[in-house]
Amino acid sequence: WRVSPLLAANHGNLPPAMVLTCGFDPLRSEGEAYARKLEAASVPVTYRCYDGQIHGFARMGGVNAESSRALDELGTFMRQVFFRP
């Protein structure tokens, strides 16, 4: 917990971020709070919560449709950030 980016003194001047949380995750509230702090610091942030999923669900691509959807969203986000014209 001592290295959580949520606890940083300043959240400005950060690159665009995508924050994924899920309904059954002990870190959900921290993820939501981090997204809000980024937004308050004018950092472009995309926040998604997959309500019916568990922590680590995104690693279940190919097994779980929402996992595959989350990975697709993350890939799209990364292409937009890293391959801007």
Condensed to tens digits (0 to 9), the pLDDT of residues 42-59 reads 999 999 999 999 999 988
The closest of 10, 35, 7 to 20, measured between CA atoms, is 35
Domain ranges for the chain, please list them: 16-82
Rounded CA-CA distance 53/78 in Å is 22
Burial (CB < 10 A; 0-12, 13-18, 19+), residue 13, is exposed
Q: What is the pLDDT of residues 4-54, one digit of tens each?
A: 888 888 999 999 999 999 999 999 999 999 999 999 999 999 999 999 999
Q: What is the pTM of this model?
A: 0.86
